[in-house]
Structure 1
Amino acid sequence: MMSFYWDSNDALIQSVYYKVPYIELSSMLREKQNHMRPESILVGKKTYRFVSRPYQGKLPIVEKLSNIPLKTIQIFTEISAEVYYLNRLLWCISIGIGVGALLSIIAGYALARRALIPIQKVWEKQQQFVADASHDLRSPLSVVRGQTQILLRHPDHTIEEESAPISAILKETKRMSNMVDGLLLLARGDSHEEVISCTPVRIDVIIKEIAKKMEPIMDYKQLRVQLHVEGSELLMNGDENRLIQLFMILLDNAIKFTQVDGQIDLECIRQGKSVLVTVKDNGVGISEHELPLVFNRFYKGDSSRSRGDHGAGLGLSIARWIVDQHQGTVHISSGVGCGTTVKIRFPVIS
């Protein structure tokens, strides 16, 4: 750090410092004696920082160098190195900001695409859902329309004479009603509007009652049912109506896909702090590649399994929803020609 001293005539008091390159600097600073704020000045390739202050008469050694009163003192220092490194730092920061902005754009684009994946999947499922629902509703509507047209051709016929078309209309109407009820239940479940009412229920009693109710159907289909309930008072928190609906869906599927003289095993046992319900049949079974899809809505699998009895493909979707609402788990194992086993586990009340 160095100093310039100026007298009242704006003459620079000479000292050892006032040589080249300071001669050029002094000529530039002469005009800036009234600049009281710190400033920077460029001399050639060097940068200096200076500040000017009025002389206050406290430097007797300097006063001896001039017979004229001192007016201004200027203190300056070279800051070329600092300016160089600051410029380099600014350059690095600018590059960093540019690279950061570019990376932010790339990362934002990638994250946006990733965030859109579940939305895209939901959209595709919705589109598939609408297409499947439209297709499944079109078939019964076509039957109803066709049978109605047949009825209109013979307005003079009695109900008994037209019992076949009326029966077909009733069957398809019931089928559409069941489908709409299932869709409404799943839609309310997705939007959390459908809430089950859980109370302590005895699942062993529910299993026994369902098995008893299904006996006439088993006899009509020429099927055998093997019931095994281990223990008593298997108590759990659940919605009795929904649990009945769940087991009716599973038994209905077992009956539908089991051949004449087949057997269906219904088992309810306690395992630790849970109860395990198993529905097993020795029917046509499910292929390995179809197992992950059986819970999808409107999924019906290989048409050869249905033996002409086509459902809406919503049963197992509703069954899984009921199991999830009861904090349970469901697992299906099967093989073509080996039958199907469905295992459901619920927590029990200790």
Structure 2
Amino acid sequence: MSHDTNHSRARVSSAEITLIRAQRLRLALVNAIVLLMIWSILSVFVYILVVNQTSSTLDQRLVTYAERLRETFIHFPLSEPGYEERLSTPPKVGQTTFVPYLHELNEIAGSDHAFQWAVWRAKDWKLLSNGDVTPPLESALLIDAKKSDVKGFFNLHVGGQTYRCMQITSHHTGLVIQIFEDVSAQREVFQRLLIILLFGGVAAAILSILGGYSLGLWTLRPLMAARRREREFTADLSHELRTPLTVMATNLELLLRHVDEPLAQHLPWIEGIYRETKRMTRMTEEILDMARLESGGFVELVDIDVSELADEVFALYEPVAVEKGLALTVSLEEAVHCMGDRTRLRQILFILLDNAIKYTDQGTIVLQTQVRGNFSEIIVRDTGIGIRSEILPRVTERFVRGEPSRQRTTSSGLGLSIASRIVEAHQGRLILKSTPGSGTEVRVRLPKGSAYA
């Protein structure tokens, strides 16, 4: 098979290119959708976790501070009207009750400068606070203080600022206590986090589409290779069948033209039909054999004495080699075992010896078995025509023959391909070395059998 033919077979049609691009795009989009779903779930989880954790921590601090402040005012209630004047000395009421300084309230409550507090006397809604409360904020706080249904936590939005508030009504002292903190900065942090997660999702989707499209070719490569092998097999099979069918049709046409003549005069035409029929039958059997091997069937692994099996096959092929004028020798180590299928290993030996005899015109063929490390090896070495280096890597492919002279033989080009599949089914290796004009060495390396355990 020429280099040009091989090159043309490797080409990808425009329809296949379009199909590959469409499939790569689909894979990229599916990959992006899955990634976006994962990113969205993760982003929602992270955002809710951060917001809830921050709010929970703040609310807990508000509760702690509010309880301390409430206890302070139980022990030190506000005085009668006049406390708002904030005199330099606290006015006395009776002998024990007084209005403490603001800083004393803070010290007693456990001051935290992040918080502000406002205390209202319910009967006249007078305000005592630990900081500057702007008129808009004071008005908003007063509205909530007068609502009897306001309990616990709430958010207050005033002048572009957001406050987290907690309100306690102390019926014992007649006071409404409000603890609050400006959380505008935290809200901005939450918004930035949300923007980062959104832009991160968009960036991840874009990168996923680009990466998925690029990796799509790598993902589709096995499918493309399988499709190419299928196309090549169809082309090769049609090529291999065309020749015998043409020969048979031609001979039959000649017979039909001479039906009145004695049949004995046309035996060469009949022999040609018979020969090509046998060739097609053998090819069909080999193709079916190949299909069974590629489907994973027909291999039953048991302990096999490889040397004994090689000696049996040698006895069958020695007369064939002698008839062709070749010397067939053996070098068998004792008790070379492997885990294998006896029928399939016998088939490998038939294929290798048949090829060696077929493509060796003079010289020697050696059949050898040996143990090397954890492997048992079968070696067939000949002094035949050899295989060109550019063809050698492809000789285990279907319908590939190494030399032009091999094209003229009755070989189907499936022998080494079948042998290679059998070796792979045994989890072994088929190693070929060849020098054109000097010969070929085929080494079958198989895992050792239980006899070595």
Bin for the TM-score computed over the shorter chain: 0.7 to 0.9
> 1 CA distance for matches of 2:127 and 2:376?
105
TM-score (norm 1): 0.83
> 2 CA distance for matches of 1:114 and 1:333?
31
Residues 302-334 of structure 1, C-alpha deviation per residue, up to 9 Å, x if partnerless?
Answer: 32x417215221100111222233343321111
**SS, match of residue 287 in structure 1:** coil
2:195 equivalent in structure 1: 91
1:56 equivalent in structure 2: 170
The Cα shift of 1:13 comes to 0.9
**SS, match of residue 14 in structure 1:** strand
* Equivalences for residues 326-345 of structure 1 within 5 A: 326-345=426-445
The Cα shift of 1:37 comes to 5.8
1:312 aligns to 2:412 (yes or no):
yes
Distance 1:316 1:307, change over 3 A: closer
> 1 CA distance for matches of 2:397 and 2:240?
15
Asked whether the 8 Å contact 1:256–1:306 carries over to 2, the reply is no
1:254 aligns to 2:356 (yes or no):
yes
> 1 CA distance for matches of 2:186 and 2:333?
87
Distance 1:215 1:158, change over 3 A: farther
> 1 CA distance for matches of 2:374 and 2:161?
84
Structure 2 residues without counterparts, runs of 5 or longer: 1-115
The Cα shift of 1:166 comes to 1.5
2:6 equivalent in structure 1: none
**SS, match of residue 143 in structure 1:** helix
The Cα shift of 1:122 comes to 1.3
> 2 CA distance for matches of 1:294 and 1:327?
19
Q: What is the aligned counterpart of 1:242 among 344, 355, 374?
A: 344
The Cα shift of 1:301 comes to 2.6
TM-score (norm 2): 0.66
Match for 2:253: what amino acid? Answer: Q
Q: What is the aligned counterpart of 2:137 among 8, 25, 33?
A: 25
1:322 equivalent in structure 2: 422
Distance 1:89 1:6, change over 3 A: farther
The Cα shift of 1:185 comes to 1.4
2:315 equivalent in structure 1: 212
> 1 CA distance for matches of 2:177 and 2:373?
94
1:13 aligns to 2:126 (yes or no):
yes
Match for 1:13: what amino acid? Answer: K
Asked whether the 8 Å contact 2:121–2:127 carries over to 1, the reply is no
Asked whether the 8 Å contact 1:230–1:268 carries over to 2, the reply is yes
> 2 CA distance for matches of 1:213 and 1:311?
20
Asked whether the 8 Å contact 1:330–1:345 carries over to 2, the reply is yes
Distance 1:6 1:248, change over 3 A: same
1:43 equivalent in structure 2: 158
Asked whether the 8 Å contact 2:322–2:328 carries over to 1, the reply is no
The Cα shift of 1:236 comes to 4.3
> 1 CA distance for matches of 2:340 and 2:131?
99
Distance 1:162 1:39, change over 3 A: same
Kindly indicate which of the two structures has a greater share of residues assigned to helix.
Answer: 2
> 2 CA distance for matches of 1:201 and 1:57?
98
Structure 1 vs Structure 2 CA RMSD: 2.7
Match for 2:271: what amino acid? Answer: S
> 1 CA distance for matches of 2:218 and 2:151?
59
Asked whether the 8 Å contact 1:52–1:75 carries over to 2, the reply is yes
> 1 CA distance for matches of 2:445 and 2:129?
98
Asked whether the 8 Å contact 1:225–1:266 carries over to 2, the reply is yes
Q: What is the aligned counterpart of 1:76 among 180, 190, 194?
A: 180
Match for 1:341: what amino acid? Answer: E
Pairs aligned (count): 332
> 2 CA distance for matches of 1:274 and 1:77?
78
Residues 200-227 of structure 1, C-alpha deviation per residue, up to 9 Å, x if partnerless?
Answer: 5443343233333223432443322233
Distance 1:199 1:104, change over 3 A: closer
1:301 equivalent in structure 2: 402
Asked whether the 8 Å contact 1:284–1:338 carries over to 2, the reply is yes
Match for 2:306: what amino acid? Answer: I
The Cα shift of 1:198 comes to 4.2
Residues 240-271 of structure 1, C-alpha deviation per residue, up to 9 Å, x if partnerless?
Answer: 33222211111121122222x33222223445
Distance 1:230 1:90, change over 3 A: closer
2:328 equivalent in structure 1: 225
1:131 aligns to 2:264 (yes or no):
no
The Cα shift of 1:127 comes to 1.3
The Cα shift of 1:52 comes to 4.2
**SS, match of residue 93 in structure 1:** helix
Distance 1:158 1:205, change over 3 A: farther
1:116 equivalent in structure 2: 220
Identity of matched residues, %: 33
Distance 1:57 1:37, change over 3 A: closer
Match for 2:245: what amino acid? Answer: L
1:66 equivalent in structure 2: none
Asked whether the 8 Å contact 2:117–2:129 carries over to 1, the reply is no
Residues 158-192 of structure 1, C-alpha deviation per residue, up to 9 Å, x if partnerless?
Answer: 44222112211111111111111111111111112
